[in-house]
Structures are given as structure tokens and as C-alpha cells.
A and B are shown apart, each in its own frame.
Chain A
């Protein structure tokens, strides 16, 4: 080691670089590399076999993968829209509260405090066709005399998952939009009233443009959330019945650990990440535009 005298700043930063490399960069590169191999957990030596883009080419022809991909995008789109609308309503209601607003805000965040696994179990129980609360309630109210197969029918299962997602995360939108409403200057609203706006017009032309950036922040966060959704689906249906609720990450984990095809799973994961990046870029663009529109100084 004689003669090698690194500058102090290099020396001081070195531990951080070593740790980062060990926990982030090496696994990332390794997983990227393994996506170019037919690596199977059961046959470790396959990691040294380089097969180029064959995994990716195979994916492009894989119906099951694209079905999961499409289902993820569908879940994402529907959930974001429903959460946006419900969150907006919640935020508007809570903002109107003159007393106990703090308490309401806290209550509103309760669903976010539960682990998604628990939310999954809770809704799995509620939607159970035999003993579940939902069927029980529907039957007691006389709305139906049948046991609706919530988690067994493909479409209903998807809806049930959607409901669980929306229940657990609408408050993300509500909180962000409420923050926007509370940060909003009141004078433009008064000016709008004087300018002749009905309450709806005030909302449409003044309030809405102002809270849009806040909604986009929530959308960015939630799109990343749903693009990597796993736990609720894993618990409620595990991708079933007959893979009708299979989404990207349940498929990826099945491929990686049940089928032990790690190479292929990593290839899927990289495509899935592209999806997330795509949505993030899209929402950030919208956010920047909306911010510029309202002349935000943040």
C-alpha cells in the first residue's frame, strides 16, 4: 500500500461508497445480469450461462405476462381515479369542518396505519362468500338471498381487491388535497364570488387549478404504490382464481420463488420498473405544468 495516499475527502467518503455498492449497486447489477441468464434457483450453475436477450424476447410473446401487465395498469388507472374523486370529496368535507378538524384528519388517516397484509386479511374475511360480513349484511338486508362469490368470480375478485386498495389509500389523496386547500389563499375565492361565480364555478375555475399540483403529487406516490402492489393481492386471492387477478408482482414472485426461474423473473421486474418510471415521469410532467400554471413558489 506504500505510495497510495488518497485525498482525505476520498478516504472519508469511501465507507459510504462501499456500503452503497454492497447493498444497492452490486445487487442491482447482479439482478440485471441474471436477467440475461436462464438462472434457476434450483440449478445455481445456470447463472454463468449467458443467453443475451432471450428472456426478454420470451416475455414479449408471453400472454400471461402481458395479461398481468394490463391488469396492473387497469388496477392502477381505476384505483387512482376512484381514490382521487373520493379523496377530493373527503378533503372538501373535512376542510368545511369548523370544529374537530384535527380529529377528523387523524381518523381519516387510520387506514394508512394498517399493514397492507392486515388489510388483505381483513377484506379476505369480509368478502368471504360463506362467513363474510359483506354477504351476511346483504342477505340480512334482503338485497340478495345468494352467497355472492366475491373472491371466486374473476371480475368480482378484481373489484374486491380494488375496494381494498381504495379503502386503504384514499386518505393519501385526501391528505394531499386537504393540504392544498389549506394552503390556498382565500382572496381569489372571494374575488371569484364577487366576479359572479356560483359555488360550483368557484371550485371549477379557482379551487381546482390550485389543488391540481397536490393531486398530482398524490398520484405519483400512489402510482408507484400500485405498480408494485403485492401484499393485498397475495393475501386476498394470490392471483387467483385461475390467475384472473394475477398482477405483475404476484406473477414475478411466483416465477422467481415457486418456479425458481430467477432469470426470467428479473427480466419481468425490469420491464415492470419501466412501467413505474413511465408513470412517474408522466405525473411529474403534469405536476410541473400545474405548478407553473398557478405560479407556485415551491
Chain B
């Protein structure tokens, strides 16, 4: 049993509070990703779980043990660092076996554990090499190997893929997912890359300025973002978010343009309320070039001028001007478009989001 539970966890540097009484329960064998922009407190939180950073308030439990004041070595955790942090003066095998050597295990035991881990990670050929002779991806694999030989209760990952190039990052992402399936341990994974979080995690924790904004499975944080921040952070390209005012059953934008008030919000807003309207590029497409998921009645079409396009091969991102601003729309089965062309955009309002302009919370309820 290796649950991890944070209760009112606080971190202060002097008088500056960087993590504000957060609560989180991670289930046994769950893969949880902490995601957020830099400076949101996600790495600090992870380091507090690891015991590398003393906590300023609250409680941390691993399993049913309170670990608040235990040094890292007594927490039975493993950590993979962004900079790999492998020991430069040891071979790959020595790096991986180091924790077992410290724990006083026998040579044979260490050798077999290292061999097992090396097989899992495809490092068998490299065991006698030194870190300086390895590529970035191989080094990260060694760091993971070092983490798995110990069979810890909890794996902690601190932006492990950030130093790798895009292609390698995708490959390693898949490997981490496979690793989780294989070792069946609780994993907490910090990243600023929402794609990593979405693809890897059972649940995503979105953090901002030391607070947790939303916790939920990837599907949920994508479909039903609880706040404006989550809506803007999750999803690529980012959601179109525009200020609007509720006016006579319609949404009126700053320049006077309007859209019908989406049906799902009709009873949740009052006339004159200031709101933020959100629509993902997937739900805003040149008519005939998208997939609409709701009733035809929820789709609202407007003819607008194209300002620029970004062809991606299988699709094109079209930046088109509406309500005095460029909106991003996704065009499937792309047709050539030029800036200045006029195109009819379909707004799939059944998929739209509304947030209160003051609280920035979703009005979906």
C-alpha cells in the first residue's frame, strides 16, 4: 500500500508562502501528474514529498506513515531528476546498484537487480559505460533504472523529459507509460508540458501560484475545465477565450459582435453578467471541415476574414478575425486558404465554455 496524502501542505521561504495549504490524495498504483507553469509550486511540492525540502506546515503521509520529518532515505521513495543527476564517477551498473550497495545488499543481489532493471530499460549493452559516454536519452534511462532497482513505494519524477529533444521525449514518454504498467507503483510526475500530463497520467493536478486549480482525469480536465486558467492551460492549440457580456440571450463582445448564448448556460447566467467565453479550436471550424458533436441547432455560422493560416499537413490552423480579434480554428481536410479570403466559421456552441469574469470559475456547475 503506497498511497500518498498531502493535508494542508504549506511551504514558505521566509515570509513568502509559495505553496498554500494544498490537499491531495494519491491512490495506490496511481499515476498522478502535477502540471502548471513555472513557479506554480509543483516542483516544490514534489521535493517536499521527497523530503528534499522541509515543509512549513501541514502533513505528508506515505502509506499510513507520517513522513513530515523523516529524511529522504527513510521514505522509501525514488526520484528521477530533470538533469538526470546520475553519478558521473560511476559506471551505469554502479549508478543503478548504488542504492542497494548503500543498503548493504549482497553483490549477487545487486547484480541481479541491476540486470533486471537493465533488461526492462534496454540498458544491457551499456552497463560498463560511464555517464559521459551516454546520450541524453540513455542517461535518463539510467536515472530511471536507478529508481526502479529499489522497488520503492513511490516514484517521483521531476520534469524528467525536459532536457530531451522532441522526438526522444515522445519515445521516453511511451517508455514511462510502459514502465508504470510493468512496475505497478504509485507515481507522481511533475511537468510543465500539458501533453505529457495528458498522455501519462491517470489523474492530472493543475497548479497555479501555489494553489491546486483542478484535479481530475485527463478527459475531464480537458472537457470540463473548472477555471479559466485550466481551460487556457490544457489543450493545444489553446482555447479561444474572450471577454463577453450577457445581453438579451446573447453574448456581446467588446466590439459589439454577438453570439447566441449557448443553451447549456441559459439558466446559469443573468442579464448583464460579465463572463469569459471559451471555445476550443476543434469546436470552431470552417463549415464542412470539422466534426460537430451536438445538435445542428447549437452550431452557429459566421462569415469572417482569414488573417493567416498554419498548414500542418493533415489539418490547417486558421486564424480568422471575429469580434475584433483573431480566433484559432482547426480545419480538417484542409483546403488552401489565403489571408484576406472570407470563410464561413462554424461555432459549435454545445462544446463551448463560460466562466464568470470575476471568479474565473466555470459556470457549468
Contact = CB atoms under 8 A, between A and B. Distances in A.
Contact of B87 (A198, A201, A206): A206
A295 B103 contact: no
B81 interface: yes
B264 interface: no
Interface residues of A, number: 20
Interface string A46-85: 0000000000000000000000000000000000000000
A201 to B, nearest CB: 6
Interface residues of B, number: 27
A197 B103 CA distance: 8
Interface string A181-202: 0000101101111111110010
Interface stretch (B69-77, B272-280, B344-352): B69-77
Contacts of A195: 73, 98-99, 102, 146, 150
B13 to A, nearest CB: 13
Given A195-B99, A201-B102, A209 B89 contact: yes
A185 B83 contact: yes
B130 A193 contact: no
B148 to A, nearest CB: 12
B52 A190 contact: yes
Given A185-B83, A294-B88, A194 B130 contact: no
A110 interface: no
A191 B73 contact: no
Nearest to A199: B71
Contact of B102 (A187, A188, A197, A294): A197
B132 interface: yes
Interface of B: 50-52, 71-73, 77-79, 81, 83-89, 98-99, 102-103, 130-132, 143, 146, 150
11 contacts: A185-B83, A187-B83, A190-B50, A190-B72, A191-B86, A194-B51, A194-B77, A195-B102, A195-B146, A196-B102, A294-B89
Given A185-B83, A196-B102, A209-B87, 16 more contacts: A190-B50, A190-B52, A190-B81, A190-B85, A191-B79, A191-B86, A191-B87, A191-B143, A191-B146, A193-B71, A193-B72, A195-B98, A195-B146, A205-B98, A295-B88, A295-B131
